[in-house]
Structure 1
Amino acid sequence: MSKLLNLIRFTNLNKWSVHLLTDNNLVFTDKYPTVYFKEFTKKGNIEKVKIEDNKTYKILGVRTYGLGVFLNREVLGSTLTMKTYQQVKKDHLFWCKVDTKNGGFGIVSDTLKDGLGSSNMAIAELDLSKINTDYLQLFFKSKRFNSYMDNLVVGTTNRKYIKFNDLLNDIKIPLPSLDIQNKIVKGYHDKLDLSVSQEQQAQEKEKKIEEYLYKELGIEISDINNTNLLNFVKFRNIERWDIQANSFNLNDIKSSYEFIKIKKLIKKSQYGLSEKANLNSNNTPMLRMNNIKNGQLDINDLKYIDLNNKKLENYILNKNDIVFNRTNSKELVGKCAVFNLFDTYTFASYLIRLKLDLELINPNYFAIILNSFIGRKQINAISRQITGQVNVNAEELKNFVIPFPNLNIQNMIVDYIQNINDEIKELKNQSLKNKTSALIEFEKEIFNEA
């Protein structure tokens, strides 16, 4: 049980703050000496710059959560209200003294050394013989540091004030030797480098899927630079009066297999529910356009709907149904996935449900092709922009074409690509794990166990 009274020596009362007096010595490991910032930070001789109307200036800002200093804007002097700014230098410590929260500190990089800070920004010089700037930036990025600072710094109107002397004299940091700091930073960057490498490997494998489809389906795409100045379309083939809708030409894509309109493979198409969803998880989950990601269903962000049994029966998704996103941004419209979940789900109006003839088509092959360059080319040609979003309706979708090998070859393609996707998923999981653990391991090194 915690003590009802916490006694503080009068000699330690340099600031009348309960947070500072009770929390400041509790969070750091005793593995390394803990020092005030003044041990390696000092007020520098900061040059003041008089703003001239006809010159261009780089005005710097600092991002929260330890993301550091950035170029906020590059503007003519005539547009600036303040007429005197501070000139920063490489490796300066930089923060907003009137609104410092959530790790809003940064170190000035070499690329930003010619930038300026307003009078609201505090600038300090660092003793680089004592502190590694990457180590310090990691400290600012740490969730434990942000929590620590939120406890220490209290301001009005949701602002948190850290003036120059407050940082130097009130805030502490574990300060191992420079060699150990370098080792800690290297361990962090090694983890990040591994994470980046794994993400790059995943991207290379994603490219292999497209390459495999080209090869397996015998795909050849004609050079668009050799197109004629005039493009003739037969009158009987005109279904919509716009250039984009008639720009897709099947002759642009050749395959070893026959192209078939997908309406010959569909038993039923259906738009989703337009009723408003809610957050009550006791109701039936409803898939929306944001639940389709990278050709898979993502149920991390669900909404729900309360339906009577009769209506629910008409809109329950069944295994092997295709859910197609008919309305979204230009980049995301047309994404689709196979429904393969076990629980009861329904779907929203921005989605189309397709029931396929499973004797003719493997639904996973169907989704792979529609999500590939073959489907994308047709979606880009047919999609229409409505109030900022792009739309593909069910009738247009039915007229899309896909290469149509027999079921055995479809199944072989699906199995091969599924194996690659499993490898991609594992690489991305490992990448995320290493990226997350890099900061966690840094925190474990300098903070007490939570």
Structure 2
Amino acid sequence: MAEVRKGYTPFRDGDVIFAKVTPCMENGKAAVMKGLTNGVGFGSTEFFALRPSARIDANYLLHFLLQRSFRQQAARNMTGAVGLRRVPKSYLEQQQIPLPPIDQQQRIVAAIEKQFTRLEAGVAALRRVQANLKRYRAAVLKAACEGRLVPTEADLCKTRNQKGEFETGEALLACILTERRANWKGKGRGQYQEPATPVTTQLGRLPEGWTWATVEQLSTRVQYGSSEKTNGDSTGVPVLRMGNIQDGMFDFDSLKYLPNAHDEFPELLLAKGDLLFNRTNSAELVGKTAVFKGAPDPCSFASYLIRVRFGEGCIPDFVSYFINSILGRAWIAGVVSQQVGQANVNGTKLQALAIPLPPFAEQQRIVAEVERRLSVIEEVEAVIAANLQRVDRLRQSILKQAISTTDAKFS
């Protein structure tokens, strides 16, 4: 037992443990210990174990520690190296706590927990809405890629009695391939090679007027990003990394940069409409995709991303919807390779991916409808996020109002 005590913090039922190290302390890691086997336990030395006397209720002490104002003040008095700072024991011992009679403390705790229960019910409801929005987003993308979101060109043609006269996906693909061949520059690699056609034997049935096409057939460029080390100098060119792709869009909050005179520029500068595919990540995140909308300009991309530039006739957003949909995720799961805890889908596999290609006018309608629905989802998500923040403020307000102002020491 003495050896265990040296490497761990001992505690027993009724003790309050309080994290001393950053960022756990700032995040409010604290609890009243209950139901321990034999009534005792041991934990990390990064916890303080506070043992309430008969004058203080353990849950009252816990709620005092969970006040943001207390934790902010404790953070300002941390000592140690950056990244591993701790609240000194001496600081905690000197802090004053409002200490009403024990029966009043228990009434305060009961009132706090009653209000917290109501708040948690509200939080649970908001989380359910978030989960439903996630499922709805997935359903929208799947319907878009299966021709069920907007009327197809074939259906509209029949409605207008045009006797089947519309440009099919197959005719569009032929035009894309013709243009691709005409624009080929050779690039020192000999004769032009026709891109491989998709193997459709195991692919699903498409709506009338659609066809299957590979990413290679639809694209004019497939390219890995820069592996050069980036920095925080914002006077340079921003470099998008895998963490910047979030839910099919780009998050520009945490950017890194390369010098403006970097020797891979302008070759690795992005253009509006370039699709970025995350080739290496965890199994859950590999393959996430977004389309660059032209800003910031100039802008580049890192080596864990693959840039795909499409020819006329293929709207990049539609391809992004497919890859981010449950259909695209199923393809990723089937081709991904695992390397030292990381999942990878390389450029060769990406170029072989078969994409459903609707007529161009139908692509435009699909993209417009998906954007409309996703914008509604984003608005609701913003409301939910604001309400979750409001819950946190309410929780802190409850604690502040409930704790009285009579000072006494912890002991």
Q: Determine which of 125, 132, 135 is the counterpart of 1:204.
A: 135
Q: Determine which of 292, 297, 318 is the counterpart of 2:250.
A: 297
Q: Which residue pairs with 1:354 in the alignment? A: 308
Q: How does 1:182-193 map to 2 (within 5 A)?
A: 182=113, 184-186=115-117, 188-193=119-124
Q: Determine which of 105, 126, 136 is the counterpart of 1:195.
A: 126
For the Cα contact (< 8 Å) 2:16–2:58, is it kept in 1?
no
Q: Secondary structure at the match of 1:352?
A: strand
CA distance in 2: counterparts of 1:392 and 1:148, whole angstroms: 47
Q: Which residue pairs with 1:105 in the alignment? A: 30
Count of residue pairs brought into register by the alignment:
338
CA distance in 1: counterparts of 2:73 and 2:330, whole angstroms: 52
Q: Which structure has more RCO (C-alpha within 8 Å, separation ≥ 6)?
A: 2
Q: What amino acid is aligned across from residue 382 of structure 2 in structure 1?
A: N
Deviations 1:74-105 (A, max 9, x none): xxxxx95779996743x653347999954553
After TM superposition, give the deviation of residue 183 of structure 1 in Å: 5.2
Q: What amino acid is aligned across from residue 409 of structure 1 in structure 2?
A: E
Cα gap change, 1:302 to 1:214, in 2 (>3 Å) = closer
Alignment RMSD (CA, Å): 4.3
Cα gap change, 1:389 to 1:445, in 2 (>3 Å) = closer
1:426 paired to 2:379? yes
CA distance in 2: counterparts of 1:95 and 1:392, whole angstroms: 44
Q: What amino acid is aligned across from residue 116 of structure 1 in structure 2?
A: G
TM-score normalised by structure 2 residue count: 0.67
Q: Which residue pairs with 1:282 in the alignment? A: 235
Q: What amino acid is aligned across from residue 122 of structure 1 in structure 2?
A: A
Q: How does 1:319-334 map to 2 (within 5 A)?
A: 319-334=272-287
1:93 paired to 2:20? no
After TM superposition, give the deviation of residue 447 of structure 1 in Å: 4.4
Sequence identity (%)? 24
Q: Which residue pairs with 2:97 in the alignment? A: 171
Q: How does 1:15-414 map to 2 (within 5 A)?
A: 88-89=12-13, 92-95=15-18, 102=26, 103-109=28-34, 116-117=41-42, 122=49, 124=51, 133=59, 137-150=62-75, 159-162=86-89, 166=93, 170-172=96-98, 178=108, 180-182=111-113, 184-186=115-117, 188-213=119-144, 216=147, 250-256=200-206, 257-308=210-261, 311-344=264-297, 345-359=299-313, 361-414=314-367
After TM superposition, give the deviation of residue 217 of structure 1 in Å: 5.8
Cα gap change, 1:186 to 1:119, in 2 (>3 Å) = closer
Q: What amino acid is aligned across from residue 143 of structure 1 in structure 2?
A: R
Q: Which residue pairs with 1:436 in the alignment? A: 389
For the Cα contact (< 8 Å) 1:217–1:403, is it kept in 2?
no
TM-score normalised by structure 1 residue count: 0.61
Cα gap change, 1:148 to 1:82, in 2 (>3 Å) = closer
Cα gap change, 1:334 to 1:438, in 2 (>3 Å) = same
Gaps of 5+ in 2: 150-197, 402-411
Q: Secondary structure at the match of 1:428?
A: helix
Q: Secondary structure at the match of 2:267?
A: helix
Gaps of 5+ in 1: 1-49, 52-78, 219-247
CA distance in 2: counterparts of 1:98 and 1:301, whole angstroms: 25
For the Cα contact (< 8 Å) 1:132–1:181, is it kept in 2?
no
Deviations 1:130-160 (A, max 9, x none): 9694x76454333312123346788999554
